Structure 1
């Protein structure tokens, strides 16, 4: 879920953090991590093959001794992440390759290194919504200009700006490379995304954030499935941490971060997955807003993003979850593809982590409220799933001390550390979410998608 920007109308939770940071640091120390964790990417010629390369995450320092979290690739294809410790004088590549072979054994299909037949992806528009973060935006745009997608455009949507920094950045250099600047005065991430959808020229509209660095193959991998599957309405991709230098960053990634695993998956509304009893209401399992794409016609047909959701509104989040669920409910398939990779710069401070925890909870229930408000016929299905839904909400927000896993933890296992103060904030956010959505909806009442009004 995309919750990282400094948009207007930000509602900060009121919770005394005095004891929280020591608790967070203690949980990280219990997991055997006493400083920051290096982040890198290791490419192998097969899981038992030779090391092809070891490189840092984009823009990061060289992989050195100490704890190192690496993305493991097999001939360029992402297949997993491992945590290893490189001692003084040791060869980092060999140590991490040994860790990969041990930790990923039995979890990587034998044909994982085999490349899929090339498919020409459809024409795409990349939308990046931003507000007053020109420095981070420049880093993201540099990576988007390096994409190997053969036919795409980039649109920057400046959401409710108070300075001209973003416009000056785009028009002062990036416009010469075809990047378009658009201003959206209505505060909120969903309104900004809808503005991008309105001006998009691509058959597919992809979205990412201003705090990511996109892999050069990201856009091609994210959009190619639309060419092969006419019933597909949405795709999502892999999000990995670009840095793990502070306790807040490590805890966020240990809590699951934004990663949805390394197995491609298709969610079909006609055949609900047996292992997803809450489908389609647990839309967060599909992906996150920093790495998603939609067939433009399908997204416009369902009304786009609900402007009363998302960062920058009283709802605090849920814009991406709403779009995922709304697309699936309309009968379109959704595909998760881990080869579509972006590196996300997690926020660094404890206050940031508190805001995120509260926003996670608020965004979840705000999105459910939005879905029911827009589609009341879904109420019986939601009520039927309510007991399991409450159990799921308690599980994902529960306080946990450090377990036996290394940090970062295995995603989706719910066996990672999560401080009590963050658990409380997440649950408080869940209680607040419906109210936040109703407040936000009151502010944007009468607002229609810009492609319908021509505004």
Structure 2
């Protein structure tokens, strides 16, 4: 089978030697023609030492140090370093199945498919009721097109894009995502813009990543707060671009992640933490909506103006 070149991008911050498992799993891929771009925003040299030890014996591994602008900015920068027709993204706390690249590329080969997402399973099992693994998904193959409000296609730590479509869309919105000032939601935003522009998104169960990130309930609330802020900020920019779909997304988020989480916490989980998580989602989206108005927007791409275009460095995002 023909195996076109693939660029794989990992944005990392403060992982140290823990990223070794991610890179080791990728090097065991049955798909040989890839280049891994690791963009490191860490404040120490531990991650650099780990990545360079791999690069010394594998020319496919590339390392670059980046300013702390956030995951979306570094993912865009990593994508721009390569020229392969397909760009895959994963996180520094994932272990990848040997067929991960093959699974995503087999979907992205179809011209109408602009984005592909894969299955994410827990890489480590919680040992107590106070531990969770967020961001998992599975199920059969699914195709998303036409309905831009159906954003249940997967998670950003296991995804890929056709380069021409990714560049046409303007990549990730650099003010959305971990380390940026407007919360998370970056993969959903990219998916929404894909569907609105007429592209297809596919979820495939054949591209598998194992997520090694245990969180307690306090950590889960922090993560969900970031998504709540991001949901509001994304809704705000759509409205400012004349897309009333922002109201639909905001309303759906308030219901599914706010009211439904509260009901689930009371009736199913019988847990105060779950109720508090839902209550957060009735506030933080409005905080994100308010913050949206503080930042300029490129109406052509419906993305916030990137950090690189700010003359004042104080406008840059906080560390992830």
TM over 0.5: same fold? yes
Between 1:294-303 and 1:167-176, the stretch displaced more is 167-176
* CA distance, structure 1, for counterparts of residue 248 and residue 13 of structure 2: 40
1:420 to 262, 271, 275: 275
SS in 1 for 2:213: coil
Alignment-derived partner of residue 293 in structure 1: 160
- Equivalent residues in 2 for 1:81-96 (5 A)? none
Q: Does 1:324 align with 2:191?
A: yes
Deviation at 1:328, TM superposition (A): 2.0
User: Does the CA contact (< 8 Å) of 1:315 and 1:434 recur in 2?
Assistant: no
1:237 to 94, 114, 118: 118
Q: Does 1:134 align with 2:16?
A: yes
- Equivalent residues in 2 for 1:258-277 (5 A)? 258-269=135-146, 272=147
Alignment-derived partner of residue 300 in structure 2: none
Deviation at 1:300, TM superposition (A): 1.0
User: Does the CA contact (< 8 Å) of 1:205 and 1:294 recur in 2?
Assistant: yes
Deviation at 1:404, TM superposition (A): 6.9
Deviation at 1:121, TM superposition (A): 4.8
* CA distance, structure 2, for counterparts of residue 127 and residue 433 of structure 1: 28
Q: TM-score, normalised by structure 2?
A: 0.83
Alignment-derived partner of residue 219 in structure 2: 352
**Structure 2: tracts of 5 or more residues without a match:** 296-303, 311-320
Change (3 A) 1:307 1:438: farther
Between 1:203-212 and 1:174-183, the stretch displaced more is 174-183
* CA distance, structure 2, for counterparts of residue 437 and residue 328 of structure 1: 22
SS in 2 for 1:237: strand
Instruction: Tell me how many residue pairs correspond in the alignment.
Output: 302
SS in 1 for 2:282: helix
**Structure 1: tracts of 5 or more residues without a match:** 1-118, 273-279, 406-414, 448-455
Alignment-derived partner of residue 281 in structure 1: 149
* CA distance, structure 1, for counterparts of residue 251 and residue 229 of structure 2: 19
Deviation at 1:417, TM superposition (A): 9.3
Change (3 A) 1:426 1:224: same
Alignment-derived partner of residue 106 in structure 2: 224
User: Does the CA contact (< 8 Å) of 1:322 and 1:370 recur in 2?
Assistant: no
* CA distance, structure 2, for counterparts of residue 121 and residue 371 of structure 1: 38
Deviation at 1:246, TM superposition (A): 4.1
Change (3 A) 1:361 1:247: farther
SS in 2 for 1:308: coil
* CA distance, structure 2, for counterparts of residue 260 and residue 201 of structure 1: 30
- Equivalent residues in 2 for 1:299-448 (5 A)? 299-373=166-240, 376-379=241-244, 381-383=245-247, 390-401=254-265, 419-438=274-293, 444=307, 446=309
Deviation at 1:217, TM superposition (A): 0.8
Change (3 A) 1:223 1:438: farther
* CA distance, structure 1, for counterparts of residue 88 and residue 120 of structure 2: 14
- Say which one has the larger Rg: 1
1:184 to 38, 63, 66: 66
Q: TM-score, normalised by structure 1?
A: 0.60
Alignment-derived partner of residue 193 in structure 1: 75
User: Does the CA contact (< 8 Å) of 1:246 and 1:349 recur in 2?
Assistant: no
Between 1:394-403 and 1:163-172, the stretch displaced more is 394-403
Change (3 A) 1:217 1:429: same
